Amino acid sequence: MCGICGCGESGSPKKWVPVSQANALLLTPSHSHSHTHRVEESDDQHRLIQMEVDLLSKNNAYAEKNRAYFKAHGIFVLNLVSSPGAGKTTLLVETIKALASHFPISVIEGDQQTEHDAQRIRATGARALQINTGRVCHLEAQGIAQAVAQLGVEDKSFLAIENVGNLVCPSAFDLGEAHKVVVLSVTEGDDKPIKYADMFYAADLMIINKMDLLPYVDFDVARCIAFAKQVNPSIEIITLSTTKGDNFAQWTAWLQNAMQAATHSPEL
């Protein structure tokens, strides 16, 4: 994970407050204990935390500019987050197939390397731009502004942002989206919402994907939902299979409702 993305610092947006476990070491930026740090060490730590805070506030300023732009142009934006392989790109491909006749759809893809996902999206006929983040593990709002301009995202359209696959850093970076949607697949384990709580706290919707594989894995759906609600009582939940299509219509209905609600309210 990158050392500049603000993981664990105070002052970042929508952070779950971690609960100390009996036998676990809880890492927080400011901690009290019996020994003292060398002066240079605490100065370095202070400088690092200050850099992280500066980075996040700069990102937040760009995110607010993006949000104002999206609002002015009637662009509804979702930020899809998950571990690698949970099914974000497959979900977007099927979403485009289902909804492309209703409104224009474009996609910004974030991966450390390759243009594979943008190519998969373009194969549907939708506009897509790939951002390669290199060693960075999340997308940032300034990059989104550049990508929107380059893509020529249409007014009154849906823009999906597929973030870099990991359940940690993208939670701290507002991109100006209307909602973060977290995709969790049943092969990843039902305790992920409580292990990676910041992400599930930041999201408004959790999609539990790959439900067709449920008979073959040890994944308790009720337990997963209980953990997600413990972290974020207002999170909405949809269980589906993207590849088999089971319950997929619930997702497309959610998207259309959220889009209508956002474009008819002062907040987009």
Ligand X SMILES: Nc1nc2c(ncn2[C@@H]2O[C@H](COP(=O)(O)OP(=O)(O)O)[C@@H](O)[C@H]2O)c(=O)[nH]1
Residues found near ligand X in the complex (CB under 6 A): 82, 84-90, 165, 209-210, 212-213, 241-243
Question: Taking CB under 5 A as the rule, does residue 94 contact Mg ion?
Answer: no
Q: Which residue, 56 or 77, is less far from ligand X as judged by CB?
A: 77
Q: Which one of 89, 106, 130, 163 is in contact with Mg ion (CB under 5 A)?
A: 89
Question: Taking CB under 5 A as the rule, does residue 59 contact Mg ion?
Answer: no
Phi and psi at residue 111, in whole multiples of 5°? -145, 155
> Distance between CA atoms of 249 and 237, rounded to whole angstroms?
14
Tell me how many degrees the CA angle 254-260-262 measures, rounded to the nearest 5: 100
> Distance between CA atoms of 128 and 105, rounded to whole angstroms?
9
> Minimum distance between the CB of residue 110 and ligand X, rounded to whole angstroms?
10
> Minimum distance between the CB of residue 196 and Mg ion, rounded to whole angstroms?
18
Q: Where are the beta strands (DSSP E) in 60-198?
A: 75-82, 105-111, 127-132, 157-162, 179-185
Question: Among Mg ion, ligand X, none, what binds residue 82 when CB lies within 5 to 8 Å by partner kind?
Answer: ligand X
Q: How far is CA 113 from CA 87, 150, 180, in A?
A: 17, 19, 22
Instruction: Select the span of 24-32, 89-97, 127-135, 203-211 touching Mg ion (CB under 5 A).
Output: 89-97
> Minimum distance between the CB of residue 84 and ligand X, rounded to whole angstroms?
5
Q: How far is CA 12 from CA 57, 79, 82, 162, 229, in A?
A: 8, 17, 19, 21, 21
Instruction: Select the span of 5-13, 70-78, 116-124, 226-234 touching Mg ion (CB under 5 A).
Output: 116-124
Chain residues that interact with Mg ion, rule: CB under 5 A: 88-89, 117
